[in-house]
Chains A and B, each alone.
Chain A
């Protein structure tokens, strides 16, 4: 069993794994375990050759501590057979069958894809797409024409607005001039009225 070292703040470490006992974080612990496992060298034991998967133990599994000549012989045999292990794995393990099954599955899938492609061909996909493209192009062109017309209309509206502003300004100035002339005429009329009265007085004296 792994040794433990007590550290401050309830944090302990088991060799490479640090654990905060006050706030257990399983995700963090599992991350540390995964990193530790990934850093391990490849196992020498050929019984563990497929990436952590274990060989079937069966009832014949030797209990711990029972070494001896049998296991020595087993080790020698394993050493002799090691160069052939990839071939043995390929032939003895279900890898070969799985490979065959996978190829068959891929073959079936390819056939289905071919059939689907043929069916799509029957539907005259190209001409349908061409027709759809033509319709879409027509609609887009029409939309562009509409947009062009709208732009012209907006320009004209701007011109009209500008002219109206100019005309209104002129009218405003004209109206101011007329008001001024009216005030002068009123004053002249008043002066002439007063002069008329003065002349009448002189005449009737």
Chain B
């Protein structure tokens, strides 16, 4: 069996959610079948400008074919078009224009899919909202599998996507909430699919001691890992944390890991650790009392799964239905809708070591049952098997 993974960007240097997700799945599935990646030459997700050399290359053992982006995105123009279609009545032609502006606009990639349809058994498309998925799925609907990586984003309600969600042979969802949302939007319940997500590899040995030596001031702390951005709810986290400190006089510290696009409040108990290596990231997570996930929109939070793998409870923003759903299903995290709930949740978690331990155990079990690579690979194989039987 030969499978093509079709993704907007691809490379070791790209750490974005869907792209990393695609890379990991492709690298794991090559054990079972011939795998090839079809992608663009883009590296920058704002403009999609060509960055990688044209043609074929091998990335971690996976053959990759790259196609040029004919017209890079102009963020201002794209923003204007997006605002217009989201705020005004518009036609399907307007939506298609928006899609073309969003890019990555690479007709060459679609042309290749059309010409080489017979060379592949299935095409697995990542991220529903980009040009490659929309036109790719329309080119080979009978051979397409979509990994939508959808969030609560207004563009999901565009008419072009309602039709798109009914076309693929199968879906690979990241969460039950994502499946429910797509079903609600497009009434595509009859299209087969499964909730799979992505696996994670947890190092066997985590060097907590060396991390503690590097950061001697960090003893009792909650941690946030990810892009430090207002869109990720970090401003709200800072506000809530500082208010919690004022009101409760708690000595708990806040450690922040990741690249920042937001001014971090100058407070002696807020430590910005910057972008850490994988070893240090896991050590920092292992040493924390609680992982805080303030994000409003997540399709699947990998760091939450990693925290559970390390038996750490999480405190999540309940406005993100996926995180809330995962907390409820795993019984491994609390969530908050406003500051008083944040305060009570955090106070409860910090006050009770047995609660943290019990939730940590639940998290570990949930991770092992659903998110080890063995489980993920089996689910992908089962979906492909079902499609083969159907054929």
Cβ of B42 < 8 Å from any Cβ of A? Answer: no
What is the CB-to-nearest-CB distance from B191 to chain A, in angstroms, rounded to a whole number?
30
The reply to whether B348 and A53 contact each other, CB–CB distance below 8 Å, is no
Whole-angstrom distance between the Cβ of A105 and the nearest chain B Cβ: 9
Which residues of the other chain, B, contact A56 by a CB distance below 8 angstroms? 235, 239
CB <8 Å contact, A1 and B265? no
Partner of B246, one of A25, A52, A64: A64
- Chain A residue, CB-CB nearest to B344: A33
Is A14's CB under 8 angstroms from B348's CB? yes
A64 CA to B248 CA, complexed, in Å: 10
Across the two chains, which residue of chain A brings its CB closest to B339?
A: A52
Q: Is the CB of B351 within 8 A of A2?
A: yes
Q: Is the CB of A59 within 8 A of B268?
A: no
A26 to B329, CA, bound (A): 9
Contacts of B265 in A (CB 8 A): 57-59, 61
A203 surroundings in chain B (CB, below 8 A): none
Bits for B340-358, please: 1 = Cβ < 8 Å to A, else 0. Answer: 1100110110111011001
Stretch in contact with the other chain, from B44-52, B70-78, B330-338? B330-338
Contact indicator A37/B341 (Cβ below 8 Å) = yes
Provided the pairs A26-B331, A112-B89 are in contact, do residues A54 and B240 lie with their beta carbons within 8 angstroms? yes
B181 CB within 8 Å of chain A: no
Determine which of A19, A25, A30, A36 lies in contact with B352 in the assembled complex, contact meaning CB atoms within 8 Å.
A19
**Of B242, B250, B350, B355, which one neighbours A24 at CB under 8 angstroms?**
B355
In the complex, chain A residues whose CB is within 8 Å of the CB of B249: 64
A57 touches B352 (CB 8 A): no
Decide: A1 near B341, CB < 8 A? Known: A21-B358, A25-B331, A57-B242: no
Question: Which residues from 236 to 272 on chain B have a C-beta closer than 8 Å to any C-beta of chain A?
Answer: 236, 238-240, 242-243, 245-246, 248-250, 263, 265-268
Cβ-based interface call for B327 (8 A): yes
Selected from B263, B268, B327, B344, the residue in CB contact (under 8 A) with A26 is B327
B304 on the interface (CB 8 Å rule)?
Answer: no
Residue B35, interface by CB 8 Å: no
CB pair A54–B348 under 8 Å, yes or no, is: no
| A64 and B251 alpha carbons, distance in the complex (Å) | 10
Residue of B nearest to A2 (CB): B351
Chain A proximity of B328: nearest CB distance (Å): 5
> How far is B242's CA from A27's CA once the two chains are assembled, in angstroms?
27
Q: Is A12 an interface position by the 8 A CB rule? A: yes
B interface majority secondary structure: helix
Known: A2-B347, A33-B348. A52 touches B355 (CB 8 A): no
Q: Is the CB of A37 within 8 A of B344?
A: yes
Which residues of B, 337-391, contact A by the 8 Å Cβ criterion?
338-341, 344-345, 347-348, 350-352, 354-355, 358-359, 362
Q: Shortest distance in angstroms between B275's beta carbon and chain A's nearest beta carbon?
A: 22
The size class of the interface chain A forms with chain B is 35 or more
Interface 0/1 of B269-305, CB less than 8 Å to A: 0000000000000000000000000000000000000
Complex CA gap A51/B341 in Å reads 11
Query: Is A63 within 8 A of B344, CB to CB?
Result: no
Known: A1-B347, A37-B344. A21 touches B354 (CB 8 A): yes
Residues of B contacting A59 with CB < 8 Å? 263, 265-266
A37–B348 Cα distance when bound, in Å, is: 13
| Contacting residue for A54 out of B239, B334, B350, CB 8 A | B239
Residues on B with C-beta less than 8 A from A14 are 348, 351-352
Neighbour of B345 across the interface among A1, A21, A33, A58, CB < 8 A: A33
Name which residue of chain B comes closest to A17, CB basis. Answer: B348
Which single residue of chain A is at the shortest CB-CB distance from B235?
A56
Give the distance in Å from the alpha carbon of A57 to the alpha carbon of B243 in the complex.
8
CB neighbours of A25 from chain B (8 A): 331
Contacts of B338 in A (CB 8 A): 37, 51-53
CB < 8 Å neighbour of A52 from B334, B335, B341:
B341
Is A156 in contact with chain B by the CB < 8 A criterion? no
6 A–B pairs (Cβ distance < 8 Å), ordered by A: A1-B248, A36-B344, A48-B339, A52-B340, A54-B339, A63-B268
Given A4-B351, A26-B331, A30-B335: 14 more A-B contacts, CB < 8 Å: A17-B344, A21-B354, A27-B328, A30-B334, A33-B341, A33-B344, A33-B345, A53-B339, A54-B242, A54-B339, A56-B235, A59-B263, A63-B268, A64-B246
State the 10 A-B residue pairs at the shortest beta-carbon distance, nearest first: A52-B338, A54-B239, A37-B340, A52-B339, A57-B242, A2-B351, A59-B266, A1-B351, A33-B344, A24-B331
